[in-house]
């Protein structure tokens, strides 16, 4: 009798788990067409908007890591070497998605452009060392001058102890990598091509 009760309890639990898992799968919304229609994202040179003293950062390397992160999400992406005809771009133009500004971004042949802003990178020594970095990104569709996606990511890195103190030089880079990962956390993955 006891065994049969146990068996019934296990069966009911399994049934509930299966049902809830399938319900969650069914609830998963299909990807927005504005993402699936993207053919190639042109990643513009990184805009350095850091305040105060600026630590040395390889901006080209950062641009490459942005391209790689997009490829990891299955988007076709390439590096661009020009910001476009508008040289005075401000964070507010990007936040407000001003079509007049957006249409001047990148090369004329580009349709989807991504602009990444480097907000801050710094490291410090405590009992160990830590690094913080902040990046924000905007993806625009130049055809209609609209904002497709925007995100902001902060990355932190650090190691305690004497070994950590010796690692200070690595912290900026580690924090930047971490920030790029955080930035793209909200960008949906494209489905696998069949």
Is residue 88 a contact point for another protein (CB under 8 A)? Answer: yes
Q: How far is the CB of 179 from another protein (least distance, A)?
A: 8
Q: 114 and 139 in contact (C-beta within 8 Å)?
A: yes
Which of the ranges 2-10, 62-70, 140-148, 158-166 carries the binding residues for another protein, by CB under 8 A? 158-166
Is residue 160 a contact point for another protein (CB under 8 A)? Answer: yes
Q: How far is the CB of 130 from another protein (least distance, A)?
A: 4
Instruction: Choose which of 24, 52, 56, 194 interacts with another protein (CB under 8 A).
Output: 52
111 or 181: whose CB is closer to another protein?
181
Q: 177 and 155 in contact (C-beta within 8 Å)?
A: yes
Instruction: Choose which of 124, 143, 144, 189 interacts with another protein (CB under 8 A).
Output: 124
Is residue 107 a contact point for another protein (CB under 8 A)? Answer: no
70 or 175: whose CB is closer to another protein?
175
Is residue 128 a contact point for another protein (CB under 8 A)? Answer: yes
Q: How far is the CB of 3 from another protein (least distance, A)?
A: 42
Is residue 87 a contact point for another protein (CB under 8 A)? Answer: no
Q: What is the DSSP string of the chain?
A: -HHHHHHHHHHHHHHHHHHHHHHHHHHPPPPPHHHHT---EEEPPPEE---SSPPP--HHHHHHHHHHHHHHTT--EEE-S--BS-----HHHHHTT-HHHHTTBS-TT-SEEEEEEEEEEEEEEESEEEEEEEEEEEEEETTTTEEEEEEEEEEEEEEEHHHHHHTHHHHHHHHHHHHHHHHGGGSPPPPPP-
Size of the site for another protein (CB under 8 A): 40
42 or 105: whose CB is closer to another protein?
105
Is residue 147 a contact point for another protein (CB under 8 A)? Answer: no
């Amino acid at each position: 009798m006891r065994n049969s009760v146990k068996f019934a309890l296990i069966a009911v639990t399994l049934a509930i788990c299966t049902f809830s898992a399938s319900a969650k799968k069914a609830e998963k919304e299909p990807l927005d067409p504005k993402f699936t229609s993207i053919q190639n994202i042109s990643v513009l040179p990184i805009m350095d908007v850091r305040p105060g003293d600026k630590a040395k950062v390889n901006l080209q390397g950062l641009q490459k890591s942005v391209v790689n992160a997009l490829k990891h999400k299955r988007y076709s992406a390439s590096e661009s070497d020009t910001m476009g005809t508008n040289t005075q771009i401000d964070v507010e133009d990007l936040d407000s998605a001003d079509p007049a500004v957006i249409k001047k971004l990148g090369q004329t042949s580009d349709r989807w452009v991504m602009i990444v802003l480097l907000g801050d990178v710094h490291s410090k020594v405590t009992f160990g060392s830590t690094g913080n970095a902040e990046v924000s990104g905007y993806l625009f569709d130049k055809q209609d001058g609209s904002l497709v996606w925007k995100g902001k990511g902060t990355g932190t890195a650090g190691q305690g102890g004497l070994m950590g103190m010796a690692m200070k030089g690595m912290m900026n880079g580690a924090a930047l990598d971490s920030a790029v990962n955080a930035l793209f956390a909200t960008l949906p993955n494209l489905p696998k091509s069949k």
